[in-house]
Amino acid sequence: MSIFTLSFTFFLLMDSVGNIPLYISVLQSLPPKRQLYVIIREMVIALFIIILFYFLGDGLLDLLDVSQDAVQIAGGIILFLIALKMIFPPPKDTQMEVEEEPFIVPLAVPLIAGPSILATMVIYSHQNHPVFSVLLSLFIAWSLSLGILLLSPYLQKKLGKRGIIACERLMGLILILIGIEMLLKGFAMFVGRCT
């Protein structure tokens, strides 16, 4: 996978556009300057957690004796299921009750460093991608997500609720295509190993 494809995949999995209403709801009681500080702090924590999962993932898969083709197939299935939830989301409450300033939960984990991107990082840690490419792609995706969340009040006003939903579903459709491509490569690897 190219750096562009990896970056785009990570960006979709962070789902910063879909998280705009939740971030605004959680931070609405804070002054604007404090909101910016909290967003940056939570994004840095999320990045650290994602990188930690990337470096621990390879050892975990080796410990479990999981093959490369199984990792590729699992990655395709995971991305496909995540994308389906983006296109056909379950009903969610955009009003989150937070009595004090959030720390780690829910903004860093699970909204940005959620199960989908953490599982994907574990899978990518066992594939033949250069570490530099994965980390650069992650940083690009993280930077884009940070920019979107810092602009979240402006984007929500401009796009509206329907616009944000439309963007999230379009991203889900693209993620389905990436997931199917991973699945097909995994099956091809498995068939090649068996023949």
DSSP β-bridge partners for residue 103: 105
The domain total for the chain is 1
Closest CA to 137 of 60, 102, 145: 145
In a domain, 108, yes or no: yes
Q: Containing domain of residue 49, as a range?
A: 3-188
pTM for this one? 0.80
Residue with tokens 């605004």: 24
In a domain, 15, yes or no: yes
Q: Are 78 and 182 in contact (CB under 8 A)?
A: no
The gap between the terminal CA atoms of the chain, to the nearest Å, is 25
In a domain, 193, yes or no: no
Residue type for 167, please? C
Give mean pLDDT, residues 101-124. 86
In a domain, 149, yes or no: yes
Sorting pLDDT into bands at 50, 70 and 90, what band is 84? confident
Closest CA to 167 of 152, 146, 182: 152
Structure-token pair, residue 32 = 């604007």
In a domain, 146, yes or no: yes
pLDDT for 98 beyond 60: no
In a domain, 40, yes or no: yes
**Chain centroid offset of residue 147 CA:** 15
Give mean pLDDT, residues 163-187. 85
Tell me what pLDDT residue 66 has. Answer: 77
pLDDT tens string 14-27: 989 888 888 888 88
What is the CB neighbour count within 10 angstroms for residue 104? Answer: 13
In a domain, 195, yes or no: no
In a domain, 184, yes or no: yes
